[in-house]
A and B are shown apart, each in its own frame.
Chain A
Amino acid sequence: MPLDREKYLELFLSEVDEQLTQLNNLLVSLEGIGADEKTIAEIFRITHTIKGNAAAMGYDVVSEFAHRIEDVFDLLRSRKLDFSQDVANAVFFALDELQKMLMELRKNKVEPEELPEIEKILKKIAMGEGGWESELGKMRMEREAPISDVARVPMRKLDSLINLIGEMLINISKLEMMNVRIGSRNLKDTISHLRRIVSDFQYIIMDIRLVPLASIFDQLPRMVRDIAQQEKKEVELSISGEDIQLDSRVVEKIKTPIIQILRNAISHGIENPAKRRKLGKEPKGLIKISAVREMGMVKIAISDDGAGIDVSKIKKTALALKIATEERLSQMSDEEILNLIFEPGFTTASGTTKISGRGVGMDAVRSELTSIGGTIVVKSKVGVGTTFEIFAPISIAIIKSLLCEVGGNVYAFPITTVEAIRKFLPSEIRRMNGENFFRFEGELVPLLDVGNVLYDKNPDYHSKDDVNVIITNVANRLFGFSVDELLREEDLVVKPLDVLSDVKTVSGASLLGSGDVVLILDISEMVRKASLERMVI
């Protein structure tokens, strides 16, 4: 009984994708700062994990190649090798080759049979042999593709291509259903071949739509400088992760939130130089922006070392604005109270802008992000500083989703929000203070019911043999959602929902091969709706 590779291939590939991005970023920073021990150790660890994961899948060639890269970093780690420009070039080249191997694996479902040519050079480096530099130079020359034939294409044309792919996928599903009746082996093979072609096509289009975060980040130093000057503050800005690529529509959507948060950080977070000196801080404040890929999403952290946000002030304002009751506030952690700044209406009353000004437009910032399936959280310590974490999807045009059925309708959970799927016995669901919970990995996790959140229908867990639960993770908080039936995973082409734009719990819709409409749930809105109506947080 070998491992069912198909089942884990996507997971494996998406993890390596992230690891490769990390490796590239770490290598870039290594080039900038020179042979830094911690960075080298981190690179070693990541290549080691890739090797191990590939080995677990039985992809021996990929594992072996990762091993070769790991060997080079082993030498760098023990200082037996200098991190020269040539070594850097060789490793960058090797990472590109690894990426190619994985693309081939994604396409053919089997790994390449042979190690890439660069393997010989890695081996020579690891053995301490010289004379590979000119060979590497030749390889790099040969690879350079002519870049004269680049086309500029308006975004809307790419949008319409995505829509056409959606139509194709729907029609392929229709064909599949027809063939259930016909039962032709040939037709079945042709359909699955067609599905593969469309999926490659989709992959290419998605790739074309990607732009690096640098397209926003590059504008920030100048902007920060200007605002700092206006506000008479001194600010140093550090940026990392600008190489990470996102769908250009996503980049468009996260730009305003990032600028808004930066503006607040300079105006109200960072203290003026005199005050900072008095507090024993460096007169120059530090703002860090860093982006990393995390489980199929991008996390952008914006942190300042300024005054921080005072929880007691947030509490007072929340009470005054009737955003939360005293009783509810007493049950919330400081972090949960801080995050009330994103609640609609938090800023409307007079005086709220005085709370380090953080209230300004924060609800707008959050709804901008949730509209594309992202979210935002804040952490802060008085006197130490504030960190905002934005989570954004890599693409918004096609969402890999988990389909489920509730009350006869089909709903989709974006796969990036799904942590696990479980079945529970009714007896395993605990009721405390009128809320339901279950145990997951040793923790008590709140259980919500999709039907209940959407249309106030109370779930009857005890009449069932078992309860299907989708466990979601949004900004590192777990929630379970009970559903009637779990269906399957599917790539959904998202159609914006103008009619339902007031229904925040639904972020979009899509069509299934059967012609049925499926609504895509906005999980952070679902959690928010449930926790506002009841007391679960």
Chain B
Amino acid sequence: MGKRIMIVDDAKFIRVILTNILEEAGYEVVGEAEDGKVALEKYPKLKPDLLLLDIIMPEMEGNVVLGKLMKDYPDAKVLIISAVGQRLLVDKALKSGAAGYIVKPISPENVLNEVERIIGPPDENTN
């Protein structure tokens, strides 16, 4: 099995960009969620190696999702998607157990560097 990733962001556009970047690099995007509730439902079913999580979402804030997730799955690996000016929220997320963060604008290089740092290259143990 390759490395499996799930993306949580309320903006479809961001999910499309991230999916393209990750899949072109050889990662497998196994699922998407547009809000925290769906994310928490899907996570245990999909068991991804990494969760990309938007820090600001309408229904449930990224940090609330993160808190709930880390409580039930302490080993979960989460990469925070943030924008300039969200330093305080990002710090809070890192304290609650997020493995790293990226800041918009999205650059493939930054995304892939962080993802690889956290879960390794896409095809470590596949063809």
A interface vs B, CB < 8 Å? 1-3, 7-8, 11-12, 15, 41, 45, 48-49, 52-53, 55-58, 441-442
A–B pairs, 24, beta carbons within 8 Å: A2-B107, A3-B105, A3-B106, A3-B108, A8-B16, A11-B13, A11-B16, A41-B58, A45-B58, A49-B10, A49-B13, A52-B56, A52-B104, A53-B14, A56-B11, A56-B14, A56-B104, A56-B106, A58-B105, A441-B29, A441-B30, A442-B30, A442-B31, A442-B45
Q: Is the CB of B42 within 8 A of A8?
A: no
Q: Is the CB of A15 within 8 A of B105?
A: no
Q: Is the CB of A8 within 8 A of B105?
A: no
Q: Is the CB of A8 within 8 A of B46?
A: no
Smallest CB–CB gap between A39 and chain B, Å?
14
Q: Is the CB of A57 within 8 A of B45?
A: no
Q: CA of A490 to CA of B83 in the docked complex: distance in angstroms?
A: 34
* Cβ-closest chain A residue relative to B111: A3
Q: Is the CB of A1 within 8 A of B107?
A: yes
Query: What residues of A have a CB within 8 angstroms of the CB of B30 in the complex?
Result: 441-442
Q: CA of A45 to CA of B11 in the docked complex: distance in angstroms?
A: 10
Q: CA of A41 to CA of B30 in the docked complex: distance in angstroms?
A: 31
Helix, strand, loop or mixed for chain A's interface?
helix
Q: CA of A53 to CA of B104 in the docked complex: distance in angstroms?
A: 9
B interface vs A, CB < 8 Å? 10-14, 16-17, 20, 29-32, 42, 45-46, 56, 58, 83-84, 104-109
Q: Is the CB of B31 within 8 A of A441?
A: yes
Q: Is the CB of A1 within 8 A of B13?
A: no
Q: CA of A11 to CA of B20 in the docked complex: distance in angstroms?
A: 13
Q: Is the CB of A55 within 8 A of B83?
A: yes
* Cβ-closest chain B residue relative to A59: B105
Q: Is the CB of A15 within 8 A of B108?
A: no
Smallest CB–CB gap between B90 and chain A, Å?
15
Smallest CB–CB gap between A313 and chain B, Å?
35
Q: CA of A48 to CA of B57 in the docked complex: distance in angstroms?
A: 9
Q: CA of A442 to CA of B109 in the docked complex: distance in angstroms?
A: 27
9 nearest A-B pairs in the assembled complex, by CB-CB distance: A58-B105, A55-B104, A1-B109, A56-B106, A45-B58, A53-B13, A56-B104, A49-B11, A442-B31
Q: CA of A11 to CA of B17 in the docked complex: distance in angstroms?
A: 10
Query: What residues of A have a CB within 8 angstroms of the CB of B107 in the complex?
Result: 1-3
Q: CA of A11 to CA of B31 in the docked complex: distance in angstroms?
A: 20
Given A52-B83, A441-B31, A442-B42, is A57 in contact with B12 using a C-beta cutoff of 8 Å? no
Query: What residues of A have a CB within 8 angstroms of the CB of B105 in the complex?
Result: 2-3, 55-58
Query: What residues of B have a CB within 8 angstroms of the CB of A1 in the complex?
Result: 107-109
Query: What residues of B have a CB within 8 angstroms of the CB of A41 in the complex?
Result: 58
Q: CA of A52 to CA of B11 in the docked complex: distance in angstroms?
A: 8
Smallest CB–CB gap between A289 and chain B, Å?
26
Q: Is the CB of B108 within 8 A of A441?
A: no
Query: What residues of B have a CB within 8 angstroms of the CB of A48 in the complex?
Result: 56, 58
Known: A8-B16, A57-B105. 15 other contacts (CB 8 A): A2-B107, A3-B105, A3-B107, A11-B13, A11-B16, A12-B13, A45-B58, A49-B11, A52-B104, A55-B104, A56-B13, A56-B106, A58-B105, A442-B31, A442-B46
Query: What residues of A have a CB within 8 angstroms of the CB of B106 in the complex?
Result: 3, 56-57
Q: CA of A1 to CA of B24 in the docked complex: distance in angstroms?
A: 14
Q: Is the CB of A56 within 8 A of B46?
A: no
Contact of A55 among B10, B84, B109 (CB under 8 A): B84
